[in-house]
Structure 1
Amino acid sequence: MIAWGAESAQVIVSQGLALAVLAWLQTSPEFMVEGVIAWQQDISLMTANFTGALRLLVGFAWPMVYFTAFFSGHRKKPDYEIKLDGEDSAPVVGILLPALYVLFIATKASLNLVDAGVLLVLYFAYLFVLNRFPAKHEDHANEMERVPRWILSHKKPVRNILILSCFVTGGTLVFLLAEPFVESLKALALVLGIQTYFFVQWVAPFLSEFPEFVSAFYWARTVKKAAMSLMNTVSSVIAELTLLVALIPIVYSFSRGEVSSIPFDYEHRLEIYLTVVQSLLGFLFLVNMRFSFYEAVGLFSLWFFQFLFPDTHREVILVYLLWMLLEIIQIFRGRRRLAAFPVFFNLWRKHIEKKP
Structure 2
Amino acid sequence: MSRLSHPLVQVAGAVLLTAGWVAAVLTGTDLGTVPTVAVSGVAVLGASFLLAWGAETAEKDVPRAFAIAVLAVLAVAPEYAVDALYAWSAGSGGATTAACAELSAAAIEAGETQLAQACHDANLAVANMTGANRILIGIGWAGIAVFTVYRAAKTRDPAVRNRDGWLADAVTLDRGIATEVAFLFLATLWAFFVPLFGGIDALDTALLVGLYVTYILIIIRGDVEAGEEHVGVPHYFQQWSLPWRPLAVLTLFAYSGAMIFSAVEPFAHGLEQIGINNGIPEFFMIQWIAPLASESPELIVVIVLVNKARSTAGFNALISSKLNQWTLLIGTLSVVFSLAYGQYGVLPFDQKQAAEIWITAAQSYFALAALVNFEISVREALVIFLLFVSQVALEFVIIRDLFAMPVSSYELLLVYTAVYAVVGTALFWVRREALKHMLGLAADAGRTALGREPVHPEFAD
Map 1:292-331 to 2 at 5 A: 292-310=377-395, 311=409, 312-331=412-431
Find the counterpart in structure 2 of residue 114 from structure 1.
Answer: 203
Distance 1:288 1:319, change over 3 A: same
Find the counterpart in structure 2 of residue 290 from structure 1.
Answer: 375
Q: Distance in 2 between matches of 1:256 and 1:287?
A: 41
1:20-52 superposed Cα distances (whole Å, 9 cap, x missing partner): 111110001111110111122112211110000
Find the counterpart in structure 2 of residue 258 from structure 1.
Answer: 343
Distance 1:353 1:104, change over 3 A: farther
Greater shift, 20-29 or 248-257, is seen at 248-257
Find the counterpart in structure 1 of residue 22 from structure 2.
Answer: none
Q: Distance in 1 between matches of 2:362 and 2:415?
A: 12
Find the counterpart in structure 2 of residue 185 from structure 1.
Answer: 271
Find the counterpart in structure 1 of residue 55 from structure 2.
Answer: 6
3-state SS, counterpart of residue 133 of structure 1: coil
Find the counterpart in structure 1 of residue 73 from structure 2.
Answer: 24
3-state SS, counterpart of residue 309 of structure 1: helix
Alpha-carbon contact 1:112-1:262 (below 8 Å) kept: yes
Superposed displacement of residue 351, structure 1: 4.3
Q: Distance in 2 between matches of 1:8 and 1:91?
A: 21
Superposed displacement of residue 133, structure 1: 1.1
Q: 1:215 aligns with which of 301, 317, 339?
A: 301
Alpha-carbon contact 1:69-1:222 (below 8 Å) kept: no
Q: Hey, which bits of structure 1, 4+ residues long, moved more than 4 A?
A: none
Asked if 1:34 is matched to 2:123, the reply is no
Superposed displacement of residue 258, structure 1: 2.2
Alpha-carbon contact 2:208-2:328 (below 8 Å) kept: yes
Alpha-carbon contact 1:39-1:251 (below 8 Å) kept: yes
Q: 1:270 aligns with which of 355, 373, 380?
A: 355
Asked if 1:348 is matched to 2:452, the reply is no
1:274-304 superposed Cα distances (whole Å, 9 cap, x missing partner): 0001111111222211122222111111111
Superposed displacement of residue 5, structure 1: 0.9
Structure 1 runs not aligned, ≥5 long: none
Structure 2 letter corresponding to 1:172: A
Structure 1 letter corresponding to 2:208: L
Find the counterpart in structure 1 of residue 130 from structure 2.
Answer: 51
Q: Distance in 1 between matches of 2:334 and 2:74?
A: 21
Find the counterpart in structure 2 of residue 163 from structure 1.
Answer: 249
1:215-268 superposed Cα distances (whole Å, 9 cap, x missing partner): 011112344x11211111111111111111122112212222221112333212
Structure 2 letter corresponding to 1:345: A
Superposed displacement of residue 190, structure 1: 2.5
Greater shift, 122-131 or 107-116, is seen at 107-116
Q: Distance in 2 between matches of 1:350 and 1:254?
A: 38
Distance 1:192 1:322, change over 3 A: same
TM-score, reference length from structure 2: 0.72
Find the counterpart in structure 2 of residue 228 from structure 1.
Answer: 313
Superposed displacement of residue 118, structure 1: 2.3
Q: Distance in 2 between matches of 1:7 and 1:191?
A: 41
1:40-87 superposed Cα distances (whole Å, 9 cap, x missing partner): 211221111000000001111001111111111017763322222232
TM-score, reference length from structure 1: 0.93
3-state SS, counterpart of residue 20 of structure 1: helix
Alpha-carbon contact 2:373-2:431 (below 8 Å) kept: no
Q: 1:73 aligns with which of 152, 155, 175?
A: 152
Q: Distance in 2 between matches of 1:345 and 1:256?
A: 39
Distance 1:32 1:352, change over 3 A: same
Alpha-carbon contact 1:70-1:80 (below 8 Å) kept: yes
Q: Distance in 1 between matches of 2:281 and 2:274?
A: 11
Q: CA RMSD in A?
A: 1.8
Structure 2 letter corresponding to 1:162: A
Structure 2 letter corresponding to 1:179: E
Structure 2 letter corresponding to 1:92: V
Structure 2 letter corresponding to 1:272: I
Alpha-carbon contact 1:79-1:292 (below 8 Å) kept: yes
3-state SS, counterpart of residue 442 of structure 2: helix
Structure 2 runs not aligned, ≥5 long: 1-49, 91-120, 154-159, 396-408, 454-461
Distance 1:115 1:322, change over 3 A: closer
Superposed displacement of residue 16, structure 1: 1.0
